[in-house]
Amino acid sequence: MGKVKGKSGTLARRPDNSAFKQQRLPAWSPMLTANTVLPFFYLMSLICMLLGVWLLLTVQSTQEIKLDYTEAGTCNICFEKRENVNYAAQPCSCTVVFNIDKAFKGDVFFYYGLRNFHQNLRRYMDSRDDGQTVGRKKNLKNPSTYCEPFIKDQNGLPIAPCGAVANSIFNDSFTFTYGGPTGPRVQVPLLRKGITWYTDKNVKYRNPKNENMTLAQVFEGTAKPLYWQKPVYELDPLDPTNNGFINDDLIVWMREAAFPNFKKLYGVLYRAQKPFSKGLPVGNYSIDISYNFPVQYFRGRKEVVLTTLTWFGGQNHFLPVAYLVTSCLILLIAIVLTVAWYKFGKNGRNMEE
């Protein structure tokens, strides 16, 4: 025979006689009727429409110019050179000329853009050593195996920074000049520092502690990536504080893009001197390009983007259009529900009658 549990044991396992544990808390169960649901639908449609129109007007207030220089102007000669293996290592420069008919007011941002370049491939994204770029000396001479095959050069020296991401860094450079209606041509000043995220510049990327050594001595015994023209400690010969793993261009490139068509910040207009104190004035402009990055192998395109920004960002129409489409869908559902209610439920009848 089984054992019968005593009364005391049953009482010991009983929950406390409280409103919470005995599920006696007050509850509100809303009754969904046409008089409450339909006004809510119309209100949400109106809110989404107002937000969409507001964001669309905000986005359209920005100014933007895109220049595809892959084969534009004199760059077609460089394009052919980069396609030919025998001339791939030779330096090549070209110029792109354009006009600005309406002045760019406020801060102007200079981007370079790539198309059909997939930085979001898993093996590509993993091909890096975060311990190395954060300044750990043991990783400097012994990079992670994730960097294969860009871990050592042909002489067996460890590569710094290692991996496919660093090896494929965008290395075109630009000189931006302006020619006024009557004046001489002047170079447009661009701020090339301070273009990275704060956490990247101050947390994720650090040079190894030098201990009274020069940066070249710190990186002694390492090799530059295979496709680089300069070692990592000489990326910016004009500013020694912008070399090594804390170089702004390197950090911007190492933050992988989520889509195959992307742009990355190259510089910001320096507005401390005339005639650029209020932005980019109307006139003729040219960009002298040091054409180094090949795009033929992945059928890509290269471009330069000049744009102003608002609090919402640049010219991205996705969110305004999404709000407007959502507003139309909600309005359509509301109208269908209103017709159904007017036909079947207004006089107390239901769908079954």
* Average pLDDT of span 178-206: 86
In a domain, 2, yes or no: no
The answer to whether 117 and 260 have CB atoms below 8 angstroms apart is: yes
pLDDT value at residue 47: 97
* Average pLDDT of span 128-157: 91
Instruction: Note whether 312 and 342 are same-domain residues.
Output: no
Choice between 220 and 347, residue whose per-residue pLDDT is larger: 220
Instruction: Note whether 167 and 123 are same-domain residues.
Output: yes
Instruction: Please provide the DSSP assignment of 214-225 as one string.
Output: -HHHHTTT-B--
User: CB-based contacts of 50: which residues, under 8 Å, 6+ apart?
Assistant: none
Instruction: Note whether 178 and 245 are same-domain residues.
Output: yes
In a domain, 269, yes or no: yes
Render pLDDT for 67-107 as a digit per residue (tens, 0 to 9). 999 988 789 888 888 877 666 678 889 999 999 999 999 99
In a domain, 126, yes or no: yes
Instruction: Note whether 245 and 190 are same-domain residues.
Output: yes
pLDDT value at residue 115: 95
Instruction: Please provide the DSSP assignment of 118-149 as one string.
Output: -TT-HHHHHSS-HHHHTT-HHHHHS--GGGTT
* Average pLDDT of span 267-294: 91
Instruction: Note whether 280 and 221 are same-domain residues.
Output: yes
Evaluate the omega torsion of the peptide bond into residue 184 and state whether it is cis, within 30 degrees of 0: no
Instruction: Note whether 348 and 305 are same-domain residues.
Output: no
pTM: 0.81
Instruction: Note whether 170 and 311 are same-domain residues.
Output: yes
In a domain, 20, yes or no: no
In a domain, 221, yes or no: yes
- 19 pLDDT band, cuts 50/70/90, is confident
Render pLDDT for 285-328 as a digit per residue (tens, 0 to 9). 999 999 999 898 889 999 999 999 888 888 888 999 999 999 99
In a domain, 37, yes or no: no
- 348 pLDDT band, cuts 50/70/90, is low
In a domain, 3, yes or no: no
pLDDT value at residue 32: 79
Instruction: Note whether 303 and 345 are same-domain residues.
Output: no
pLDDT value at residue 91: 85
Instruction: Note whether 312 and 344 are same-domain residues.
Output: no
Instruction: Note whether 109 and 161 are same-domain residues.
Output: yes
Instruction: Note whether 246 and 329 are same-domain residues.
Output: no
Q: Which of 10-19, 39-48, 212-221, 325-334 bottoms out in mean pLDDT, i.e. has the lowest?
A: 10-19
In a domain, 335, yes or no: yes
Choice between 337 and 184, residue whose per-residue pLDDT is larger: 337
What percent of the chain is modeled with pLDDT above 70? 92
Render pLDDT for 214-254 as a digit per residue (tens, 0 to 9). 888 899 989 999 889 889 999 988 888 899 999 999 999 99
Range of the domain at 333: 317-353
Instruction: Note whether 81 and 207 are same-domain residues.
Output: yes
Number of structural domains in the chain: 2
Q: Which residues of 209-225 are buried (b: 16+ CB within 10 A; e: fewer)?
A: eeeeeebeebbeebbbb
